[in-house]
Amino acid sequence: MHSDTEPDRIDLRILAALQADGRLSNLKLAEAVALSPTATLARTQRLQREGYILGFEARLNPLKLGRGMLVFVEVLLDRTTPNVFDAFKAAVQVHDEILECHMVAGGFDYLLKTRTADMAAYRDFAGRVLWQLPGVRETRTYAVMEEVKDSARLPLGA
């Protein structure tokens, strides 16, 4: 039985506030949404339990941590069978340079978001990992020259 309820206006305000600052204390959050701390905590716990809040994490500066090279990669597989998809999906999980992997509709099968230190490190990654992934027939690489917008915030209309 599925017990999720649609988030109401106050839930959306809680989500918006936490999305802007995940370190917000329950007391400050309660003040921001004009509810008691007890009611705010109960709503926040429900939003977590129901999967609206997936977790909390710090956003790190990739330049300061030696991961300044952002590259997107289109991947075309040689065969599109369930076992090839499964092998590919399992293989990308174990490589830290691959931040995101999305199966897409269109002229290729997967879009990867990768981060390395620089172009030399990316070349090493491509030869050591990318071209060795199961089923890879072809890749197209797009090195990012400027990150114009980088946000994981969802529009909530709160």
CATH 3.30.70.920 fits 69-143, yes or no: yes
β-bridge pairing 69-77 and 110-116:
antiparallel
**15-48 burial, b for 16+ CB within 10 Å, e for fewer?**
bbbbbeeeebeeeebbebbebeeeebeebbebbe
What pTM does this model have?
Answer: 0.87
Give 22-52 pLDDT, tens digit per residue.
999 999 999 999 999 999 999 999 999 999 9
CATH of 9-49, one of 3.50.50.60, 3.30.2350.10, 1.10.10.10, 3.30.230.10: 1.10.10.10
What are the residue ranges spanned by the domains of the chain?
Answer: 9-49, 69-143
CATH topology match: 9-49 vs 69-143? no
The angle that helices 37-49 and 9-20 make with each other, rounded to 10 degrees, is 80
| 97-137 tens-digit pLDDT | 999 999 999 999 999 999 999 999 999 999 999 999 999 99
